[in-house]
Chains A and B, each alone.
Chain A
Amino acid sequence: MKHEWPLWEVFIRGQHGLNHRHVGSLHAPDAEMALKNARDVYTRRNEGVSIWVVEAQHITASSPSEKGPLYEPSESKVYRHPTFFDIPDEAGHM
């Protein structure tokens, strides 16, 4: 039998109140082992308070070639940023 363990992506919440953040990946036969391995590989120095693992094949990623159509439209919409609007100091803090 020749069967490589699937790849899992690991996300860790560093502190209470923060988002889980992608930290890396690992191989494991199932979710339970992936969590155990993630604890050993990615939290040896108090790096986290919570771990998510998800099998890599379940992640859908945007393609690098779509960068233009996806992100360029927002470049011209500068009015989405608060600094676009000039408000006189006399109006007070806003």
Chain B
Amino acid sequence: MYAQMVTSEATQDDPEKLAAFQARIDAGEKIEPKEWMPEGYRKTLIRQIGQHAHSEIVGQLPEGNWITRAPSLERKAILLAKVQDEAGHGLYLYCAAETLGVSRDELTEMLLDGRMKYSSIFNYPTLTWADMGAVGWLVDGAAIMNQVPLQRTSYGPYSRAMVRICKEESFHQRQGYHIMMKMAQGTSAQKKMAQDALNRFWYPSLMMFGPSDKDSVHSAQSMKWKIKMNTNDELRQKFVDQTVPQAEFLGLTVPDETLHWNDEKGGYDFAEPDWSEFFDVIKGNGPCNTERLAARNKAWDDGAWVRDGLMAHAEKKRTSKLAAE
């Protein structure tokens, strides 16, 4: 899940209009950009889609880190294609957010000055090549858990962006798992590296779904509006149930001594991540928060002359074409 702890905005609209709006959502209709919507719906969506888009963009950094050091030309090409997809996913989502009346530059600036967040997961470093495996397998795996149901979200442009993204996302997870398979079947040093990557990414991946339902104050309204389709704990449970057998297949150990199958509930019991660490990372104190934001700010500042230059060039061409007519 790339959107965590999205605050639901209270709404003060005409109760009759609100009821009619809710009826449309309950009937499974899609809400389209120019149609009436509660102010709270619009604002919550901007925050959630924006955070999701920012996560795709910032998420390029930990993987971009390994493009020049991929172990083979093929792996390099695959990783490059994956990181390019992440840029594409960010762009689809920014466009969806813009239909709600916020501009692309405003969204970017809110990321750069810290007013908007991105997923906590991207504040962890990628230390070895095995981390490229763990990120694809676990991080993209967790994202898919959240994104598949979001294809049915009530807001048309968001839903359509999710459909496109989900089509492309499966490649990301499979390439990651493939890296893990190679490493886990490799030399003992490689297997150790794979285990170490799982150890470091397991709990941060569980955190991606956001705090436990009992501490998640924003869920109810968002779920009523079909902006959020499942609770955090539901998705986390589904992720653990799916991932544990995959780890077993690799011959790796999930770093949780309490992990065991619970026949009664038909799922695994597992240890919660350290939530104080999660809140600390969200606040900006994770291992890479400063580095990530600095990289985005540098890219934006260094690219300013290109953006301005291309715009000036386009205007010049337009005026000279007009003059020639």
A→B interface (CB under 8 Å)? 1, 3-5, 7, 24-27, 29-30, 33, 40-41, 44-45, 61, 63-64
Are the CB atoms of A3 and B98 closer together than 8 Å?
A: no
A4:B310 contact, CB within 8 angstroms: no
Q: Which residue of A lies closest to B307 (CB)?
A: A5
CB contact under 8 A between A41 and B313, given known A3-B308, A7-B98, A61-B34: no
Q: Are B313 and A24 touching (Cβ within 8 A)? A: no
For B81, B88, B311, the residue with the greatest tally of chain A CB atoms inside 10 Å of its CB is B311
Q: Which residue of A lies closest to B98 (CB)?
A: A7
Our pick among A24, A33, A61, A64 for the contact of B92 (Cβ within 8 Å) is A24
**Please, which residues of chain B bring their CB within 8 A of the CB of A64?**
32, 34-36
What residues on A are CB-neighbors of B88 within 8 Å?
40-41, 44
CB–CB A30/B317 < 8 A:
yes
Which residues of B line the A interface, CB within 8 A?
32, 34-36, 81, 84-85, 88, 91-92, 95, 98, 103-105, 160-161, 164, 168, 307-308, 310-314, 317-318
B residues in contact with A61, CB < 8 Å: 34
Chain A residue numbers with a CB within 8 Å of B95 are 24-26
Chain A residues near B311 (CB, 8 Å)?
1, 3, 5, 29
Give the nearest-CB partner of B103 in chain A: A4
A91 to B324, CA, bound (A): 65
8 A-B pairs with CB atoms under 8 Å apart are: A1-B311, A5-B311, A24-B95, A26-B95, A30-B310, A30-B317, A44-B84, A64-B36
Complexed CA–CA distance, A26 and B88 (Å)? 10
Query: Please, how many angstroms separate the alpha-carbon atoms of A63 and B160 in the complex?
Result: 21
Q: Which residues of A contact B318 (CB under 8 A)?
A: 30
Chain B: minimal CB distance from A59 (Å)? 12
Whole-angstrom CA separation of A45 from B307 in the bound complex: 27
Q: Which residue of A lies closest to B157 (CB)?
A: A24
Best-surrounded residue of B105, B164, B314 (most CB of chain A within 10 A): B314
> Chain A residues with Cβ under 8 A from B81's Cβ?
44
For B36, list chain A residues within 8 Å (CB). Answer: 64
Central interface residue in B81, B95, B103, by most chain A CB within 10 Å: B95
Return the 10 tightest CB-CB contacts between A and B, nearest first: A30-B314, A29-B314, A29-B310, A64-B35, A25-B95, A29-B311, A4-B105, A1-B308, A3-B311, A41-B88
Contacts of B98 in A (CB 8 A): 7, 25
Q: How many contacts between A and B, using CB within 8 angstroms? A: 52
CB of A44 within 8 A of CB of B85, answer: yes
- Residues of A contacting B92 in the complex (Cβ-Cβ under 8 angstroms): 24, 41
A3 to B304, CA, bound (A): 10
CB of A26 within 8 A of CB of B91, answer yes
In the bound assembly, the distance between CA atoms of A69 and B160 in angstroms comes to 28
Residue on B nearest A45 in the bound complex, by CB: B168
Q: Which residues of B contact A26 (CB under 8 A)?
A: 91, 95
**CA separation between A27 and B314, bound complex, in Å?**
13
| Nearest CB in chain A to that of B308: its residue | A1
Cβ contacts under 8 Å, A44 to chain B = 81, 84-85, 88, 168
Report how far A1 CA is from B309 CA in the complex, Å: 10
| Docked-complex contact A4 and B314, CB < 8 angstroms | no
What is the CA–CA distance of A40 and B89 in the complex, to the nearest angstrom? 12
Q: How far is the CA of A1 from the CA of B313 in the complex (A)?
A: 13
- Which one, A27, A29, A40, A45, contacts B104 given CB within 8 A? A27
CB distance from B79 to the nearest CB of A (A): 15
- Min distance, Cβ B204 to any Cβ of chain A, angstroms: 28
Q: Which residues of A contact B310 (CB under 8 A)?
A: 5, 29-30, 33
A-B contact sample (16 more), CB < 8 A, given A3-B307, A4-B104, A45-B168:
A1-B311, A4-B103, A4-B105, A24-B161, A25-B98, A26-B91, A26-B95, A29-B313, A29-B314, A30-B310, A30-B317, A33-B310, A40-B84, A41-B88, A44-B81, A44-B85
> Which residue of chain B lies nearest to A42 when distances are taken between CB atoms in the complex?
B88
